[in-house]
């Protein structure tokens, strides 16, 4: 299971959970702890290494990669929210 597929599964559960309930809070915490917090730490570390070792051009290429990853998560969120409305 990839990180994004695990994110999709948990986000789907979050969208279906009763708002502001205990289940929604638990899932929201898991999403942050398991995926987003980890990703942000790793992306930051790699970005700093790229900038220090290779300069701004390589850093910009890496930044594009990270933005594509973020767009992937955003797409999952849009899809799951639209699935619930159906």
The model's pTM is 0.77
Ranges in the chain, pLDDT < 50:
none
DSSP the chain: --HHHHHHHHHHHHHHSPTTSHHHHHHHHHHIIIIIHHHHHHHHHHHHHHHHHH-HHHHHHHHHHHHHHHHHHHHHHHHHHHHHH-
Number of domains in the chain: 1
Residues 6+ apart with CB under 8 A from 12: 80, 83
Find the domain containing 44 and state its range: 3-85
Residue 1: per-residue pLDDT: 65
């Amino acid at each position: 299971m990839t990180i994004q597929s695990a994110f999709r599964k948990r986000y789907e559960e979050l969208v279906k959970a009763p708002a502001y309930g205990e289940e929604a809070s638990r899932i929201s915490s898991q999403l942050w702890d398991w995926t987003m917090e980890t990703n942000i730490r790793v992306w930051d570390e790699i970005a700093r290494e790229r900038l220090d070792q290779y300069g701004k051009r390589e850093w910009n290429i890496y930044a594009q990669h990270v933005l594509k990853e973020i767009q992937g998560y955003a797409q999952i969120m849009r899809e799951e929210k639209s699935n619930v409305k159906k």
